[in-house]
Amino acid sequence: MSKQLEHLAPAVQKDIKELETKIERFQLGQMDEEKFKLYRLTRGVYGQRQLGVHMFRTKIPYGKLTADQLIRLADTSEKYTNGNLHLTTRQNIQYHYVKLNDSPLIWKELGELGVTAREACGNTVRNMTASAKAGVDPNEPFDVSPYVHAAYEYFLRNPICQEMGRKIKPAFSSSEQDSAFTYIHDFGFIPKVKTVDGEEVRGFKVLVGGGLGAQSFMAPVAFEFLEEDQVIPFMEAAIRVFDRYGEREKRHKARMKFLIKNLGLETFLQLVEEERKAIKSKTFKIDRELVKQPTPPEAKEWADVAPSDAAKFELWKATNTFEQKQKGFYGVQIKVLKGDIDAERARQFAAVVKEFAADDIRLTINQGILIKYVRPESFVHLFEKLNALGLAEPGFDSTGDVTSCPGTDTCNLGVTNSMGLAVELEKLIQEEYPHLLSDDAVKIKISGCMNSCGQHMVANIGFHGSSIKKKPLVIPAMQVVIGGGVNPDGEGFIAEKVIKIPTKRIPQTVRILLDDYEENREEGEYYNNYFRRQGKMYFYGILKHLAEVTTLEGTDQFDWGEDHKYEQAIGVGECAGVIMDVVGGILQDAQEKLSLAQETVAEGMFADSIYHSYAALIIGAKGLLLSEDFKCNTHAGIIKDFQEHFVDSGKIKLEGTFSDLVLNLKTQEPSEELAKDYIVKSADFIKQVSVIREAQLSENGQDKSVVGSYYKA
């Protein structure tokens, strides 16, 4: 494929060639399956529930696409997959049913138009999400898009975040209303402006250590105001701390939220401050023009016609459009059922964008689409075009706009069918509660398991896949959670677990909850305030009868979309796959890091080179510790244990302590001299490690397999 890649950027060419090579090595049996799995995840290739095919995830920062990029995504989907684009809650697009050998071809075709899959999955800095309205939000202090894009570019392929203990998810809100859910992210940024000596100064309120999943955490505030040029330096220093001190062996404790809980916010921030000398950018000035406002469509005369469905048009206009901060122009929000749009509709929608809007499509965190700079005089014509595509359903981000992850349709971890249930609930709202299509006080979100890809813990009414035993059967069920989300003032809430109910009774559950709220709330009372006023046990009481399984009969015991009895089949999530890691392979990894250090120092990337040398030292030490059955669950632990068991014992000769050697990067500014010194010392260290390992092999006769996980340090 080399000649086909020549027109791509060198970094993109390297990514694709490397993926192609690794696939070939794996298929020839030259690369361990689990090691290959770890690699391909960071290239967006994720195992699917169905054997022999994969999910391929793109990385689309803050959901921004051009019409031509959407067309290319549609074309490749049709060419290499089942022809469906799935919009995610992280503003990405996923393909399903991808053959492994087709993944480099997909990447090549997407790369031609600037779309990547690098670090879309795996233990990396994941997609940077942001309020879809950024740039046009009437309430925003300034457009956060350039800041998100700058952060995306800075951390893409950055050596500090390629092999962390767990993923990092950042989010930027456009205003204090926090439409980006910053409070549930590893890094959350809310824009602020203050006046200093008569001049406007931009900055951000910064939150760190939030997260959903089995244990949900509200992110504490790290800074009430952090100047704009400190955003990227703070993130880099914090990621270094996470990489060094974060848990790696116990996956369920490996997120930043647990590190901050264990250390305390004050200690965490102190460690971040200590890292600042080592980072390559003490300040990072953001080019405010990095993401320019798009060119609006030219004004033209539109024929005066009546809509084909006047009532639907008026509701659509009221619920799916808003006036931008740029007066006279409107944003139009597109509701996408289940987040699925087939290739042909996507191409036709792209043509509609070119005709009616600016060339700046934003995917939204509720699996929809926003288009910008639409002229109001074109509304009827736009509505008709969208309606013909099934993309003019009213009620964007309302009670009737249900978010759901793929669940058991394609996900290994899925317990129940969340998408089938989402369809039923949207139908329920449209038919029985049509007035709620213009009400956004209650949001409904569904995940197929507890991992919250459907963001159920930030829903006013949420559900996650589970099961209930009814001997001898297992019945598909949903855990009901209530009271999450963001109120009109921007205050965030995490939902509380209330009760587990068979999944076929969830529509009735929703009826009861909505009827109860409408009958008993006080005037203007927000749903979460009502939930907390009544108390969790009140809601348990009104739903308890639905949890009774002895009255379930026939298809009530099936999952949505299934015509047979439920069979629980939960796979292993690939972020947590078990690995048989041969010590010799670990030491080869250390050599690879050393080679990368040499490459990057030659390119003048001194801070990157230093971090590669740091990784070589850590990995080399890890190899020897594992060879003697010592646990390696954090980098900090490796440094301490290696000193005790290999340096203090005299097995390894160093001028000072192992900590002095490894952490010298914290004491000096990154420079060519320091980078070259690190390479020399790392090379000497790896040589000593290799000698010890050879002696172990000559004594034991064979290499050693170490049972561990991807989160081993």
Domain boundaries, the chain: 2-111, 136-275, 310-388, 403-557, 577-709
Q: Can you list the residues of the chain whose pLDDT is less than 50?
A: 576-580, 709-711
Cis peptide before 294 (omega within 30 of 0): no
Which CATH superfamily hosts domain 403-557? Sulfite Reductase Hemoprotein, domain 1 (3.30.413.10)
Report the residue count for the chain. Answer: 713
Residue 99: CB partners within 8 Å, gap ≥ 6? 52, 53, 54, 80
CATH class of 577-709: mainly alpha
Q: Enter the DSSP assignment of 164.
A: -
Amino acid 673: pLDDT: 95
Residue 258: CB partners within 8 Å, gap ≥ 6? 247
Determine how many CB atoms are found less than 10 A away from the CB of residue 650: 7
Query: Three-class SS of residue 536?
Result: helix
Domains 136-275 and 403-557 share a fold: yes
Amino acid 702: pLDDT: 61
Regarding pTM above 0.85, the answer is yes
Amino acid 195: pLDDT: 93
CATH architecture designation of domain 136-275: 2-Layer Sandwich (3.30)
The predicted-structure confidence for 687-712, as pLDDT tens digits, reads as follows 999 998 888 887 766 666 665 543 35
Cα–Cα distance between 574 and 712 in angstroms, integer?
14
Amino acid 711: pLDDT: 36
Helix (H) or strand (E) holding 95: strand 93-98
| Candidate CATH numbers 3.40.190.290, 3.50.50.60, 3.30.470.20, 3.90.480.20; the one for domain 2-111 | 3.90.480.20
Q: Do 246 and 164 form a contact (C-beta atoms < 8 A)? A: yes
Amino acid 576: pLDDT: 41
Cα–Cα distance between 330 and 316 in angstroms, integer?
13
Amino acid 194: pLDDT: 95
Cα first-last separation, the chain: 35
Cα–Cα distance between 313 and 305 in angstroms, integer?
12
The predicted-structure confidence for 473-512, as pLDDT tens digits, reads as follows 788 999 999 999 999 999 999 999 999 999 999 999 999 9
Amino acid 412: pLDDT: 77
Query: Three-class SS of residue 197?
Result: coil
CATH class of 310-388: alpha beta
